[in-house]
């Protein structure tokens, strides 16, 4: 029979063991959950893979841009064996159906948005911009850029307003809401390819412009030098990418870009 003194001394040890067991279970479950998320993320077909991979096929589609982080190279002629992967632009960087297309004197409408607008994976004459132009017998220009959200599309629109389009078509989809507050492109790289995003400052929401786009595109070209990385490399990239998003979300040390009154976003 155990003495009351022995029972009393064993009780704290039992509590300590229980705490240790439960803590171990919680930590292990958390690690497994995080690993599962990273594995899932690493196996997803990143929306920017295809566009980023074209850094290695001859002339890069993209050039650095201080406002949008990157943009389509003007007067681009990127020929592929597949018409769907051939890419041509005019002097303004709008995607065209063939090389050497001049900017039209009159533009009835322009389209802005991401890869769905620019039509990655289909020929230029199969994009909804071209379909709309055929159906309406109007002149349109396609200013979509893979990986852009609403903020980047807005900045592109402001640049092209001198074309005086009667209509602007914005190709929206739900992930733009995420992209609008994420300062890094979902590129499958372990470093940040910057893009403009909305941030909260002392005077309210404003647009934070990207940082160091030149170095980012140089690193991207090296990263995609051999095509899409293998799964292990992709998994590590996923972990670092998620951490960069997390850190950027809680980063309050960087002040937002000082913009004019018209650039402030109304709450």
Does residue 186 lie within any of the structural domains?
A: yes
**Contact, 151 vs 119, CB < 8 A?**
no
69 in any annotated domain: yes
Kindly state whether residue 21 falls inside one of the protein's structural domains.
no
CB burial class (10 A; 0-12, 13-18, 19+) of residue 33? exposed
Pair type for strands 109-113 and 167-171? parallel
Q: How far apart are the two ends of the chain, measured CA to CA in Å?
A: 72
Q: What percent of the chain has pLDDT over 70?
A: 68
Tokens found for residue 125: 């004459």
Distance CA 197, CA 117 (A): 20
Residue range 187-222, pLDDT digits in tens: 766 678 889 999 887 888 899 999 888 888 777 776
Question: Is residue 205 situated within a structural domain?
Answer: yes
pLDDT, residue 252, reads: 43
How many residues belong to the chain?
A: 267
Cα separation, 43 vs 47, whole angstroms: 12
What's the structural domain count of the chain? 1
Cα separation, 141 vs 162, whole angstroms = 13
User: pTM for this one?
Assistant: 0.68
Mean pLDDT for 212-241 is 68
Backbone φ and ψ for 77, nearest 5 degrees, come out as: -130, 95
Residue 146 lies in a domain: yes
Whether 39 is in a domain gets the answer: no
Closest residue by Cα to residue 142 from 61, 72, 53: 72
> Residue 101 — φ and ψ, nearest 5°?
-70, 125
Structure tokens at 41: 């993320």
Helix (H) or strand (E) holding 112: strand 109-113
> Which tokens in the block code for residue 190?
């372990």
Burial of residue 20, with CB atoms counted within 10 A of its CB: 0-12 exposed, 13-18 middle, 19 or more buried: exposed
What confidence tens digit (pLDDT) does each residue in 137-178 have? 999 999 999 889 999 999 999 999 999 999 999 999 999 999
pLDDT confidence band for 8 (50 / 70 / 90): low
Q: Residue 149 corresponds to which tokens in the numbers above?
A: 């959200």
Number of alpha carbons in the 13 Å side-chain half-sphere of residue 266: 1
Q: Could you give the maximum distance between any two Cα atoms of the chain, in Å? A: 101
Q: What is the mean pLDDT of the chain?
A: 78
Could you list the residue range(s) of the whole structural domain that residue 131 is in? 49-255
208 close to 264: Cβ distance less than 8 angstroms = no
Find the radius of gyration of the CA atoms of the chain: 25
Residue 38 domain-assigned?
A: no
In a domain, 9, yes or no: no
């Amino acid at each position: 029979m155990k003495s009351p003194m022995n029972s009393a001394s064993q009780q704290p040890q039992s509590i300590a063991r229980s705490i240790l067991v439960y803590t171990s279970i919680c930590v292990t479950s958390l690690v497994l959950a995080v690993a599962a998320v990273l594995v899932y993320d690493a196996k997803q077909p990143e929306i920017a893979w295809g566009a980023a991979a074209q850094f290695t096929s001859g002339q890069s589609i993209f050039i650095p841009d201080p406002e949008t982080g990157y943009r389509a190279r003007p007067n681009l002629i990127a020929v592929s064996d597949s018409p769907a992967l051939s890419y041509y632009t005019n002097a303004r960087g709008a995607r065209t159906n063939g090389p050497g297309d001049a900017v039209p004197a009159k533009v009835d409408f322009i389209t802005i948005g991401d890869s769905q607008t620019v039509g990655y994976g289909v020929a230029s004459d199969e994009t909804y911009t071209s379909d709309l132009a055929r159906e309406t017998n109007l002149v349109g220009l396609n200013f979509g850029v893979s990986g852009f959200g609403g903020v980047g599309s807005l900045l592109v629109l402001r640049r092209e307003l001198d074309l005086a389009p009667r209509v602007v078509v914005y190709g929206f989809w739900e992930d733009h809401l995420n992209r609008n507050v994420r300062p890094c492109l979902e590129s499958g790289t372990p470093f940040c390819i910057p893009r403009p995003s909305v941030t909260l400052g002392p005077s309210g929401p404003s647009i934070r412009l990207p940082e160091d786009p030149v170095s980012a595109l140089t690193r991207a070209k090296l990263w995609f030098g051999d095509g899409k990385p293998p799964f292990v490399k992709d998994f590590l990239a996923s972990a670092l990418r998620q951490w960069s998003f997390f850190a950027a979300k809680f980063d309050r040390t960087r002040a937002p870009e000082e913009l004019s009154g018209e650039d402030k976003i109304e709450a």
